[in-house]
Amino acid sequence: MKKKIQTRPNLSKITLRPYKISDVDDFLMCGGNEKVTRFTRWNTFTSKQEVVSYINDYCIPHPYCRSICIDNRSIGFVIIMPRSGDDRCKADVGYALAVEY
């Protein structure tokens, strides 16, 4: 029996870009997995329609929400949430990656 060789993605092609509606299936792969969402502030997504609404209503308009991509395929997200008042020079950073990554 031959040993299966696992290929790793070319990590030199990691990019950050704004979300697009076409990211729905990839986002659901990450945001629909409880192993990922147990560390986020949002609940596990259970349908494409929930993800479409979230991308349209939150990800696309938010200036600091970006898709983490390999070869332009979304594998996770990163968000920077600026603080205000006396903490206006600070921000919180959150991220999540699909379980495979």
pLDDT at residue 3 above 80? no
Rounded Cα gap, residues 15 and 78, in angstroms: 11
> Taking the alpha carbons of 7, 68, 73, 55 in that order, is the dihedral positive or negative?
positive
pTM of the shown model: 0.81
pLDDT tens by residue, 73-88: 999 999 999 999 999 8
pLDDT confidence of residue 90: 95
pLDDT band at 5 (very low <50, low <70, confident <90, very high): low
What does the pLDDT look like over 47-71, one tens digit per residue?
A: 999 999 999 999 999 999 999 999 8
